[in-house]
Amino acid sequence: MKYIFGPVASRRFGMSLGIDLSPDKKRCNFDCIYCELSPAKPVNNYDNPPKVDDIFNEVKDAVQKYQFDVLTVTSNGEPTLYPYLDELIGKLKTLNKKLLILSNSSTIMKKEIQNSLKKLDIVKLSLDAVSPNIFKKIDRPAKGIDIEKIIKGMIEFRKIYKGELIIEILVVKGINDKDEEFKKLNKVLADIKPDRVDISTIDRPPAYNVEGVSIEKLFELAENIKNQNIFIPTRDKINYKIENLTKEELIETLKKRPFSESDVKNILDEHTLKIFNDLIKENMLEEIWVGGVKFYKAYV
């Protein structure tokens, strides 16, 4: 199969069957320093696009063969550059599967892209920085792409999009790992109003000579982001702990910063975990699912 990969188990979205819209080479309008693909000059156009039917026929066969939670439209690059995206989405909708796209956000200000993406169940958009100089340093966009227009596009898109909007921030050491930048992100996220904010770091060899930060650092940076469902994918035991909260303090925290299942498992000390479990028994917490991740929130 040329366009299909997986299914793969993803911590962020469950079992995902991937559709790669650019299998032969990287086609991206960014050249992110952390990209897991080789560095490449950013391009704004997709040359020699494959036929919609060639992609769709493969997807149709794979859908009958595999069990999965979500069909993920992605690319060796940026999937919204594919010129027949809208037609492809129309066909994918006939399969009655949950549809997700992973986009770098660069085209979200375009009305035609907003109208295509609003047909999907989950849209993941990247937002690594708000400050123009940091955005340029980390995402290395093609000429003419500017972060103010992207943010405006995200806010507009949220107004017309009824599905689950997830914003992803990828943190690179020494570039966007300052509280100051996260405070700016917090302000902008309050306007965008996503359903979930994923904060992650580099975990595969990057295109350029840069490093990720520790998981503990991600939790510290996340303290700047208020009133959002924050998901920080964690694998191992970590040294960041929420300790010795009283029942009232835990309830207040859970009103502003709902915990994912992985937070409950990894960051609550024994004392706070016991109080958390009591709150569950007393029905004081609401369970919310966003894009395949469960959160616990205190009723406001």
Footprint on this chain of ligand SF4 (rule: CB under 6 A): 28, 30-32, 35, 37, 77-78, 104
Closer residue to ligand SF4, CB minimum distance, 30 or 68:
30
Closer residue to ligand SF4, CB minimum distance, 127 or 242:
127
What tokens appear for 216 in the block?
A: 């503990």
- 10 Å Cβ neighbour count for 103? 21
Least CB distance to ligand SF4 at residue 1 (A): 21
User: CA dist 12 to 72, 137, 276, 290, Å?
Assistant: 12, 26, 23, 10
Least CB distance to ligand SF4 at residue 168 (A): 10
Least CB distance to ligand SF4 at residue 106 (A): 8
Least CB distance to ligand SF4 at residue 151 (A): 16
Closer residue to ligand SF4, CB minimum distance, 29 or 260:
29
Q: Count how many Cα atoms sit within 13 Å of the Cα of residue 103 in the half-sphere of its side chain.
A: 26
Least CB distance to ligand SF4 at residue 172 (A): 11
Largest interatomic CA distance in the chain: 60
Closer residue to ligand SF4, CB minimum distance, 78 or 181:
78
User: CA dist 148 to 14, 99, 127, 144, 153, Å?
Assistant: 32, 28, 11, 11, 9
Measure the CA dihedral 119/122/59/9, to 10°: -170
Closer residue to ligand SF4, CB minimum distance, 36 or 269:
36
Alpha-carbon Rg of the chain, whole angstroms? 20
Least CB distance to ligand SF4 at residue 104 (A): 4
Closer residue to ligand SF4, CB minimum distance, 102 or 120:
102
Least CB distance to ligand SF4 at residue 37 (A): 5
Closer residue to ligand SF4, CB minimum distance, 90 or 233:
233
